[in-house]
């Protein structure tokens, strides 16, 4: 059984069919990239899988459990967690507190417990785990910094740390290296690789930076107009004429007769 299975998925916004009849599977332990030109439906696919949007038709399964129609918090509880394109964080809190809040699923507290303060031991263990995650991501030095004071690269890393805090089976990264400088990009790709190798987390990522995608992913799904255009290992994708056309556009578009410039 595949870890993630997308069956006949469609999502319509008004007149626009953002995803149409998409089938896709992701195996346990993969690093899968999703690419495609702007407006191809990549982010919509993420939104539907993670529960932020409801699909118009079709289903999503994680470990055989149906995710369709569940809210993101429930899907996170089942092990499917996403990050955001923008830097998303709880801005009134420190870095450590952000990760600690994201441990919600594993450190729930009852109303009574909160008032009486019975959860001290659990909080300790929880904070220990949060610190481990920060160490792994390389943010330990900033743990007491307010999250909005971090640099862009560190804020994006914090986003990944918060997703990890939920202990996911599959981590969906929405443009993890967007807006990063080369050094930051390098660090982030290392982290992603280690997540799979050492933490056994399956990775699904949408990314525009082709160098990163080609270097990091073992398999790639190309979307265009909400449909699957191609799927395969990076070498196949790069040499696929349809993909090149989708990306660079075709000169044929202009028609030979009026193409004179």
Footprint of another protein on residues 200-219 (CB under 8 A)? 208-214
Question: Considering beta carbons, is residue 1 or 111 the nearer one to another protein?
Answer: 111
Residues 225-254 that bind another protein (CB under 8 A): 225, 238, 244, 247-251, 253-254
Residues 15-74 that bind another protein (CB under 8 A): 15-16, 37-39, 50, 52, 71-74
Closest by CA position to 205, among listed 175, 236, 228 = 175
Residues 6+ apart with CB under 8 A from 2: 25, 26, 27, 28
* Least distance (Å) between residue 92 CB and another protein: 6
134 near another protein, judged by CB under 8 A = no
Report d(CA 196, CA 222) in Å as an integer.
22
Applying CB under 8 A, among 20, 43, 155, 189 the residue interacting with another protein is 155
- Given a contact cutoff of 8 angstroms between Cβ atoms, the answer to whether 89 and 147 are in contact is yes
Question: Considering beta carbons, is residue 11 or 58 the nearer one to another protein?
Answer: 11
81 near another protein, judged by CB under 8 A = yes
Where do the DSSP E strands lie in the chain? 4-13, 16-26, 31-35, 57-62, 65-66, 80-82, 170-174, 202-206, 219-224, 227-232
Size of the site for another protein (CB under 8 A): 72
* Least distance (Å) between residue 70 CB and another protein: 11
Applying CB under 8 A, among 1, 115, 198, 241 the residue interacting with another protein is 115
Residues 6+ apart with CB under 8 A from 221: 24, 32, 33, 34, 35, 228, 230, 231
* Least distance (Å) between residue 75 CB and another protein: 8
Applying CB under 8 A, among 68, 136, 179, 187 the residue interacting with another protein is 179
* Least distance (Å) between residue 242 CB and another protein: 12
- Binding range to another protein, per CB under 8 A, among 11-19, 23-31, 57-65, 190-198: 11-19
Question: Considering beta carbons, is residue 27 or 149 the nearer one to another protein?
Answer: 149
Applying CB under 8 A, among 4, 6, 19, 102 the residue interacting with another protein is 102
Residues 6+ apart with CB under 8 A from 84: 159, 174
11, exposed or middle or buried, with CB in 10 Å at 0-12, 13-18, 19+?
Answer: buried
Applying CB under 8 A, among 2, 59, 88, 131 the residue interacting with another protein is 88
């Amino acid at each position: 059984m595949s870890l993630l299975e997308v069956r006949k998925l469609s999502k319509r916004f008004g007149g626009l069919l953002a995803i149409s009849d998409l089938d896709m599977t992701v195996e346990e332990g993969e690093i899968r990239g999703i690419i495609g030109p702007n407006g191809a439906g990549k982010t919509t696919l993420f939104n539907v899988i993670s529960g932020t949007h409801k699909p118009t038709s079709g289903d999503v399964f994680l470990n055989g459990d149906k995710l369709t129609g569940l809210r993101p918090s429930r899907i996170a509880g089942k092990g499917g967690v996403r990050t955001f394109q923008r830097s998303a964080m709880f801005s009134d809190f420190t870095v450590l507190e952000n990760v600690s809040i994201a441990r919600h699923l594993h450190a729930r507290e009852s109303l009574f417990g909160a008032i009486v303060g019975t959860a001290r031991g659990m909080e300790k263990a929880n904070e220990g785990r949060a610190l481990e995650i920060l160490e792994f991501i390389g943010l330990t030095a900033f743990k007491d910094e307010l999250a909005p004071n971090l640099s862009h690269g560190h804020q994006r890393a914090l986003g990944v740390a918060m997703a990890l805090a939920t202990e996911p089976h599959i981590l969906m990264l929405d443009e993890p290296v967007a807006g990063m400088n080369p050094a930051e990009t390098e660090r982030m790709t290392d982290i992603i690789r280690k997540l799979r190798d050492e933490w056994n987390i399956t990775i699904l990522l949408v990314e525009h930076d082709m160098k990163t995608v080609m270097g990091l992913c073992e398999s790639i799904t190309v979307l265009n107009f909400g449909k699957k255009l191609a799927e395969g290992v990076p070498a196949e994708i790069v040499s696929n004429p349809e993909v090149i056309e989708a990306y660079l556009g075709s000169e044929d578009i202009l028609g030979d007769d009026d193409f004179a410039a």
